[in-house]
Amino acid sequence: MEMDDHKRRRNLILYVLIAILVYMVLSTVLFPNIKTGGMEVEDVTYSQLLKDLDRKKVDEIRYTTDDAQALYTLKGEEKKAYRTTTMPTDVDLTNRIEEAGAELKVTIPEQDSGMWLYLLITFAPIIIFMLLGWWLNRRMKKAMSEDNPSMDFSGGGFGGFGGGNLGKSGARIVASKDVGVTFKDVAGQEEAKESLKEVVDFLENPKRYEDIGAKLPRGALLVGPPGTGKTLLAKAVAGEAGVPFFSISGSEFVEMFVGRGAAKVRDLFKQAKEKAPCIVFIDEIDTIGKKRDGGGFSGNDEREQTLNQLLTEMDGFDNQKGIVVLAATNRPDSLDAALLRPGRFDRRVPVELPDLAGRKAILELHSKDVKTQPPIDLTAIARSTPGASGADLANIINEGALRAVRLGKTRATQEDFEESVEVVIAGQQRKSTVLSDHEKQVVAYHEIGHAIVAARQKGSAPVTKITIVPRTSGALGYTMQVEEDERFLTTKQEVLDKLAVYCGGRAAEELIFGEMTTGAANDIEQATKLARNMITRFGMSEEFGMMALGTVQNAYLNQDTSLTCAPGTAERVDAAVLKLISEAHERAMQLLKENKFKLHELAHYLYKKETITGEEFMNLLSRENPLMPKA
């Protein structure tokens, strides 16, 4: 388990609080005011002392030479002491004390027996702090290694307190046998595994490569969308080769203190050289490896220094030793070109979203340890999750198992997994949202509107499920469509059909209720994005043809497109987008008008049942409607 910052901070606060508490308790209970031995002390004037001496009431005087203080007790008063702080050093006083029959104790500081106590008081808290820090650190290490034997507690946080550790990089050092991940644990991703096998082979037999004079890439960059298994693959390489795995995340480099990032890099590589052959893995390298700006006050000096240090280190090590630097990112387009030069991360390993077969393999792998109730059809689940990452799929299996437990079952069923697909895609069912009767009707017509438009067009994916049970994501209902096979290309007609399906919900509301609701917000957003892409990226408009009008900013994240055309052109693009959407809306409306009876019938059915399958929908749709006039 990785210890996140939050937890670390919480522990630190706790630990400081405990230390302060211990100090306070110790200093009040164990060491009450030492000089007075726990007695009540009253400050008095020097003349008061003289008076008390004259009356022969003084029992004992303790006189400290260095601060001209005297502390004295009176006869018959055990619990009380008097203190005077302005003692003149006169010989006469000594005589008077003798005359008064009081006992005089003079303390010369060097021989002060209290000195040890003073020292103890001064240093005890520090010692306690250090012991406590050490103890907590050890406990945490132990807890973490019990949690997950493959990871060592990364230093830096607490470890820094005891000294010694301050300059360490905090890279997690893991013995190879503990990585516990091999290629077997990565499903799909065959191409990625194939190109990483060479790295494994190199780490296993560096001699073979050396003999023939081949240089292996020092670094490989794993690029792909989040959750596709990049981190997993890097670990698997170390696991396969049986070499140590140093892992650090780019964000860990960028720290508060200037110069720490670069020092970390230096330290990381120093450790790596000692343990070679090994793998150094830098996760989220884009945090440090962003393109450097051309100077000026970037305010990001720290990051730049770290990056420079990394480049220096990568050039510096002689690769006969067998250090392979792997890095992962989901923003390859933002990386500094210097990182991608030969001799650095010159090899790119794409780790893409899994296709149908890949998704099935991942689902199979993750459901291996889950007790299931046959029949289980993972192909169906894989088919209904295009665009899902490996992490999403792992999550779907786990959510399914959790649902089974929630329902008091001992085995997960197909239904559990199907429901969890929806949970992962659309959010948890929210039974507590109470829609008014009218709202429920509107949502039912809206969803059936989508479904009928989809069913009545050739290029639309079949409807597999329609529901008006609200979701925690805010959706009040949705219509699920699943392509029959994996799609890599979409024709213009199919895109147009899809646009019409998006418009179908709103069109149904208008047709039946003659009003508009806010429920179509998401449809509108999707439709607009699609229409804009048709024009600016897919070259599907007559007006602009194959002219690229935008560039994709972030291929692996949200595919944001930014326009690269003149402002005048942008206006025409907007007009063309509007036209596409209006036409799609028109088409949807037309289809719904033609199927108005079916719309009523199906909406009523959905209203009553709340969730219907694609099969039910198609049966009802193709059934002859007794209300409908014969064609």
> Applying CB under 5 A, which residues contact Mg ion?
231
Binding of Zn ion by 286 (CB under 5 A):
no
Q: What is the dihedral of CA 432, 433, 437, 439, to 10 degrees?
A: -160
| Residue 523 site contact among Mg ion, Zn ion, ligand ADP, none (CB < 5 to 8 Å, cut-off depends on kind) | Zn ion
Binding of ligand ADP by 365 (CB under 6 A):
yes
Q: How far apart are CA 457 and CA 441, in angstroms?
A: 24
Using CB under 6 A, which residues numbered 309 to 328 contact ligand ADP? 328
Nearer to Mg ion, 231 or 389 (CB): 231
Binding of ligand ADP by 285 (CB under 6 A):
no
| Residue 226 site contact among Zn ion, ligand ADP, Mg ion, none (CB < 5 to 8 Å, cut-off depends on kind) | ligand ADP
Task: Please tell me the count of residues contacting Zn ion according to CB under 5 A.
Answer: 2
Annotated catalytic, 447?
A: yes
Q: List, in sequence order, every beta strand (DSSP E) within 32-99.
A: 40-43, 58-64, 69-74, 80-84
| Nearest alpha-carbon partner for 241 in 324, 172, 346 | 324
Hunting for tokens 């009356």 — which residue is that? 55
Nearer to ligand ADP, 79 or 368 (CB): 368
Residues 6+ apart with CB under 8 A from 144: 1, 3, 151, 152, 153
Binding of Zn ion by 399 (CB under 5 A):
no
Residues 6+ apart with CB under 8 A from 373: 409, 411, 412, 413
Q: By CB under 5 A, which span of 65-73, 285-293, 314-322, 515-523 interacts with Zn ion?
A: 515-523
3-class state of residue 400 by DSSP: helix
3-class state of residue 323 by DSSP: strand
**Cα distances (Å, whole numbers) of residue 209 to 8, 79, 205, 216, 243:** 44, 87, 7, 8, 17
Nearer to Zn ion, 359 or 450 (CB): 450
Identity (one letter) of the amino acid at 476? L
What's the closest the beta carbon of residue 612 comes to Zn ion, in angstroms? 16
Nearer to Mg ion, 86 or 251 (CB): 251
Q: Is the CB of residue 173 less than 8 Å from the CB of residue 270?
A: no
Q: Is the CB of residue 315 less than 8 Å from the CB of residue 263?
A: no
Binding of ligand ADP by 362 (CB under 6 A):
yes
Binding of ligand ADP by 390 (CB under 6 A):
yes
Q: How far apart are CA 435 and CA 440, in angstroms?
A: 6
Nearer to Mg ion, 202 or 281 (CB): 281
Q: How far apart are CA 11 and CA 157, in angstroms?
A: 10
| Nearest alpha-carbon partner for 198 in 343, 339, 316, 349 | 349
Binding of ligand ADP by 229 (CB under 6 A):
yes
Binding of ligand ADP by 230 (CB under 6 A):
yes
What's the closest the beta carbon of residue 222 comes to ligand ADP, in angstroms? 7
Q: Is the CB of residue 320 less than 8 Å from the CB of residue 206?
A: yes
Determine if the peptide bond prior to 277 is cis (ω within 30°). Answer: yes
What's the closest the beta carbon of residue 464 comes to ligand ADP, in angstroms? 25
Using CB under 6 A, which residues numbered 391 to 450 contact ligand ADP? 391, 394
Using CB under 5 A, which residues numbered 520 to 549 contact Zn ion? 523
What's the closest the beta carbon of residue 193 comes to ligand ADP, in angstroms? 9
Nearer to ligand ADP, 185 or 210 (CB): 185
Nearer to Mg ion, 95 or 251 (CB): 251
Q: Out of 505, 507, 602, 606, point to the residue binding Zn ion (CB under 5 A).
A: 505
Residue showing the smallest CB distance to Mg ion in the complex: 231
Q: By CB under 5 A, which span of 235-243, 272-280, 502-510, 611-619 interacts with Zn ion?
A: 502-510
What's the closest the beta carbon of residue 172 comes to ligand ADP, in angstroms? 15
Q: Is the CB of residue 553 less than 8 Å from the CB of residue 560?
A: yes
3-class state of residue 422 by DSSP: helix
Q: Is the CB of residue 403 less than 8 Å from the CB of residue 419?
A: yes
Q: What share of residues in the chain are helix, strand, coil (percent, to 5)?
A: 55, 15, 35
Residue showing the smallest CB distance to Zn ion in the complex: 505
Q: List, in sequence order, every beta strand (DSSP E) within 470-629.
A: 478-481, 550-552, 561-563, 611-613
| Residue 187 site contact among Zn ion, ligand ADP, Mg ion, none (CB < 5 to 8 Å, cut-off depends on kind) | ligand ADP
Residues 6+ apart with CB under 8 A from 159: 137, 153, 165, 168
Binding of ligand ADP by 247 (CB under 6 A):
no
Task: Please tell me the count of residues contacting ligand ADP according to CB under 6 A.
Answer: 17
Q: By CB under 5 A, which span of 178-186, 390-398, 457-465, 501-509 interacts with Zn ion?
A: 501-509
Q: By CB under 6 A, which span of 132-140, 223-231, 287-295, 556-564 interacts with ligand ADP?
A: 223-231
Q: Find the catalytic residue in 447, 509, 510, 601.
A: 447
Nearer to Zn ion, 286 or 523 (CB): 523
Paired tokens of 321? 């030793």
What's the closest the beta carbon of residue 525 comes to Mg ion, in angstroms? 28
Q: Going residue by residue from 36 to 75, which x/- string records binding to Zn ion, judged by CB under 5 A?
A: ----------------------------------------
What's the closest the beta carbon of residue 559 comes to ligand ADP, in angstroms? 17
Binding of Zn ion by 470 (CB under 5 A):
no
Task: Give residues in contact with Zn ion (CB under 5 A).
Answer: 505, 523
Residues in contact with ligand ADP by CB under 6 A are 186-189, 226-232, 328, 362, 365, 390-391, 394
Catalytic residues: 447
